[in-house]
């Protein structure tokens, strides 16, 4: 799935981009993938989409799924993730532990990095794996 890309890549690298800005963009891209999956996945009513999406996009869910796929990340991807995780943001949502929120921010920074550098194949591959892992966790009651 290619989403919103008007150019093959906006940046060659994102090392100079503020990791919180990467996370800001990555949050939107991550949520768009989830929403597309829910809408195209079949029998869901419009008023249920938000409730289902929250199960995938909350900080606890993102932290949990990161643990599921972390072994698949390259060293470069770990560097981006660490930058996002260690960035100082203003506040932490009430529904998340500080560690969950930091890991979710790191994951979102990585998603933003893949998007801005035009690594849509890697973005799609990892989003597919993460959504699948969350669906499996949901079926196990996690």
Average pLDDT of the chain, as a whole number: 86
99 touches 132 (CB < 8 A)? no
d(CA 4, CA 50): 21
pTM: 0.87
Q: What pLDDT is stored for residue 26 in this prediction?
A: 95
The residues carrying an active-site annotation are: 27
Mean pLDDT confidence for 13-24:
88
Q: What percent of the chain lies above the pLDDT cut of 90?
A: 51
Q: What pLDDT is stored for residue 141 in this prediction?
A: 62
d(CA 117, CA 135): 28
d(CA 93, CA 88): 14
What are the pLDDT digits (tens) for 60-80?
Answer: 999 999 999 999 999 999 999
What are the pLDDT digits (tens) for 70-125?
Answer: 999 999 999 999 999 998 877 777 778 888 999 999 999 999 999 999 898 999 99
């Amino acid at each position: 799935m290619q989403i919103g890309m008007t150019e093959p890549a906006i940046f060659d690298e994102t090392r100079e981009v503020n990791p919180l800005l990467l996370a800001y963009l990555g949050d939107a891209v991550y949520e768009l993938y989830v929403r597309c999956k829910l809408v195209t996945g079949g029998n869901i009513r419009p008023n249920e989409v938000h409730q289902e999406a929250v199960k995938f996009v909350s900080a606890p869910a993102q932290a949990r799924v990161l643990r599921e796929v972390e072994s698949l990340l390259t060293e470069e991807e770990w560097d981006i993730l660490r930058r996002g995780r260690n960035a100082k943001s203003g506040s932490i949502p009430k529904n998340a532990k500080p560690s969950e929120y930091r890991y979710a921010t790191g994951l979102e920074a990585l998603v933003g990095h893949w998007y801005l550098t035009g690594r849509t194949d890697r973005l799609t591959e990892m989003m597919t794996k993460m959504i699948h892992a969350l669906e499996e966790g949901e079926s196990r009651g996690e």
